[in-house]
Amino acid sequence: MVEVHDLTIAKLARASGVNRETIRFYEARGLLAAPPRSASGYRLYAPSDARRVRFIRVAQALGFTLEEIGELLSLRGNPNGTCGVVKAKAMEKIAKIDRKIKALTDMKAVLVEVSSECDDGSSPIDECPILCTLDKKADT
């Protein structure tokens, strides 16, 4: 069955919850195929393109990069692929998120520690414990 391409870029953007520039960007990155054009040159998209753009948005919200999303889309289109490959990608993403959480927790701990060394904020700037700590760490 041939899919009808009757959505203009504005309609696709509205149906997908993004702006037109995002649609063009996804096309440029190869995440969305260049659509056929009308006789007057307008891009004409299919309803499946709206689903694809929404998929990209959801994947981005989960932290996947555009490159990783491209891989997921390729896997989806592979009839010989398995769910295990997709699960492996998700597990890799979870591990990256865990590393980011640890790094952020460590950063917060250092900031809490150096902030606790501050008095009421009335000390001269050259005696600021936060700046002094940053200077010491920069020298090591």
**84 in a domain, yes or no?**
no
How is residue 92 written in tokens?
């890799």
Model pTM?
Answer: 0.77
pLDDT of res. 140:
77
pLDDT of res. 29:
96
**82 in a domain, yes or no?**
no
> What is the rounded distance in angstroms from the CA atom of residue 140 to the CA atom of residue 137?
5
**123 in a domain, yes or no?**
no
pLDDT of res. 67:
96
**5 in a domain, yes or no?**
yes
What single DSSP character describes residue 123?
Answer: S
**134 in a domain, yes or no?**
no
Q: How far is residue 79 from each of residues 14, 52, 67, measured CA to CA in Å?
A: 31, 17, 21
How is residue 121 written in tokens?
């904020």
**121 in a domain, yes or no?**
no
What domain range is 30 assigned to? Answer: 1-63
Count of beta carbons in the 10 Å neighbourhood of residue 95:
10
**73 in a domain, yes or no?**
no
Q: Give the total number of structural domains in the chain.
A: 1
**72 in a domain, yes or no?**
no
pLDDT in tens, the chain (140 residues): 557 789 999 999 999 999 999 999 999 999 999 999 999 999 999 999 999 999 999 999 999 999 999 999 999 888 888 999 999 999 999 999 999 999 999 999 988 988 888 877 788 888 888 888 888 878 87
Which CATH number fits the domain that encloses residue 12?
A: 1.10.1660.10
120 — phi, psi (to 5°)? -75, 5
pLDDT of res. 138:
85
